[in-house]
Amino acid sequence: MVRGDSAQRRGAAFRYLRVNVMIAAMTYAYENRKPQAGVDIGGTFTDLVLSDRGRLRIHKLLSSPQNPAQSMLEGLEIITPGGASALTQVAHGSTVATNAILERKGARSALITTAGFRDVLFIGRQERPVLYDLHPKIPAPLIPRERCYEVPERLDFRGALLQALDMDALDSVLDQIKHDGVDSIAVCLLFSYVNDRHEQRIKRRILERGIVKDYWQIVLSSQVLPEFREYERASTIALEAYVRPVMSGYISQLEAELPRRSSLRIMKSDGGVMRARRVRQQAIHTALSGPAAGVMGAFYVAKTAGFDKIITLDMGGTSTDVALIDGVPQPRSESSIDDLPLRLRMLDIETIGAGGGSIARVDAGGALRVGPESAGASPGPVVYGRGGEQVTLSDANAILGRLDADHFLGGKMALDLGAGIEAMKALARQVGFNTIATAKGVVDIANVNIDRAIRRVSIARGHDPRDFTLVAFGGAGPLHACEAAERLDIPRVLIPHTPGVLCALGLLIADVAVDFSQSVMTLATPENVADLEDRQESLLKQAQAELRQEDMREEDMRFAVSVDMRYQGQAYELNLPFSTALLQDFHDLHEATYGHALRSREVEIVNLRVQGTGIVKKPEIRFRESRANVALPFAEKESPLGGTIKLFRREALDAGDAFPGEALVFQMDSTTYVPPGWGASVDGYLNILLRRG
């Protein structure tokens, strides 16, 4: 534990961080002069970006894990001139839904399904997550079997009535549910995606009997996911029912405390945003809210700088998120959370437990491990001086000189390097190395974990990392970017101008997105393709109406129609844009994806999809004319690994400046490490480009 004057200085630094953190003006112009803010709440820090009078300001403060909204509201008061009451719009990235699932702290839910399908969540697909594991660990469903109920009813695959809904049996089930005292009810009947008549009758009956207080506590599969595959559909609405009451309470708290004139939008997992009211009906769409904002922010900055083939590395205090973009972000329609299937559009993001707060330990076999457990914001890494006792990745970086005790968070937060060294010595004794070698080992293990994550989104999916630019952001991403790139021969690394708050910037530039889908299950004949043109009109009207409710103008609306197709007999589909040449397009896409096409086999159209996008005005990143200039460090220091580290301040670097590694670049929201053998240059948008050699 820290004592004396040193502790008082650190306490003052943290109070200053919370109350009067440096607000840095950024080199952006913005057409809309009404104050708007983007807020990303992470496990350790809460990041804010404010657009006000044509400029963007950034702010960073410690998160409040027990009440995530507290740090957001505090930050808005501090960063907004005149206080939060001047704000007109707030865009927010949230981890509330994700944490509720991972920590199993969601709502108490019940499931009603067709007679004979009570165990749909438990039987699943009988897949083995690890092929040769004799005792696989299968996550328990979010709704236990004692709260899964079945009612007699049946439709056929065309939606025709086979057995009417037994209302007496339904009332008996509702009696039991009322006795259970649930927060939400999920309803998933067989073939309801074709005909939702029975699900709607169940909803009306629940409301008539007052089993729940509000309509949004009833989750219908025909509304959340009107697509075939009963297990995936049931899993998705179970997730929705589990997180909807939690998110509804969280959003209600935010809306109550935000100024009345402020509208609140929430980031979705597909990289778009939606108004807060929709969260009460689409809560599970926020499952990857925070990471999606970072991907969108990174793509916007990189594309402006001339790079549209990127791999994003978002490394914060708790986790690292990695994604690949080849030209344009491509959400996928099938994913999972904690190994629970989720069939919704989500950006393809690989998440690992490797952040600045990841705890280093020795396992039962004597091997050094890093993560996935994290020290979080409280108590945090040992060097933070807040009572942390377990060594973390941030402690290792501080011991190696890559986090500077005098320049962390722009010099506004002191680090207790001595306490970090003492904690590392204890870990070093367990592994049999000296303190510096152990710290280097902790960093190397974290880099290996990052390497594996990048390989999963690139090489494992047929992409060559050497064709991409690594965009590193988050508080810790710029510290590890070069070493991660070197392992995979990635030729260049781009560090945005404000990497530590890029997720918050991504919230400001994200477009409004709405999605509607419908299973059609028909052969891809010319007649059926023509029929789809009529079917899509209904979905297009729904998307258009939803965008109007988001206050989007007609001229800012864009619509995309696509279909999921497969060869007859296949179990999985490919998504492609709708056109009159669907058959040819599908054969070509199948060949490009899998290396072959069965052009003589019949093709099925499985799902019809419509995506509506409301284009928002985005910050314009100003370009600065530059000329080559060798930047001079403001100081140097000895590296614990040998050699000299040159020190630079980010705000002192201008377009055209260049310098070689080994070097550190300090700024309020992050620190960039340039290893030996790498060189740095500043482009016209004030991004730092790092290259080997």
pLDDT tens-digit readout, 470-507? 999 988 899 999 999 999 999 999 999 989 889 889 99
Whole-angstrom distance, CA of residue 437 vs CA of residue 442: 9
Other C-beta atoms within 10 Å of 586: how many?
23
- In this prediction, residues 646-659 reach a mean pLDDT of 93
pLDDT of the residue at 19? 37
> Is 80 exceeded by the pLDDT of residue 33?
no
pLDDT of the residue at 8? 46
pLDDT of the residue at 54? 64
Q: Give per-residue pLDDT as tens, 303-357.
A: 999 999 999 999 987 788 999 999 888 888 778 877 888 888 888 888 887 888 8
What length does the chain have?
693
pLDDT of the residue at 23? 39
Q: Which of 123-127, 237-241, 254-258, 373-377 has the highest mean pLDDT?
A: 237-241
Distance of CA 114 to the CA centre of its chain: 34
Distance of CA 250 to the CA centre of its chain: 18
In sequence order, the 6+-apart residues with CB closer than 8 A to the CB of 224 are: 236, 237, 240, 282, 284
Residues of the chain with pLDDT > 90: what percent? 48
Query: Residue 577 pairs with which residues in a beta bridge?
Result: 562
- Please, which pLDDT band fits residue 560 given cuts at 50, 70 and 90? very high
Residue type, 37: A
How does strand 28-29 pair with strand 644-649?
unpaired
Mean pLDDT of the chain, nearest integer = 87
> Is 80 exceeded by the pLDDT of residue 451?
yes
> Is 80 exceeded by the pLDDT of residue 360?
yes
Rounded to a whole number of angstroms, the distance between the first and last alpha carbons of the chain is 43
- Please, which pLDDT band fits residue 2 given cuts at 50, 70 and 90? very low
pLDDT of the residue at 253? 85
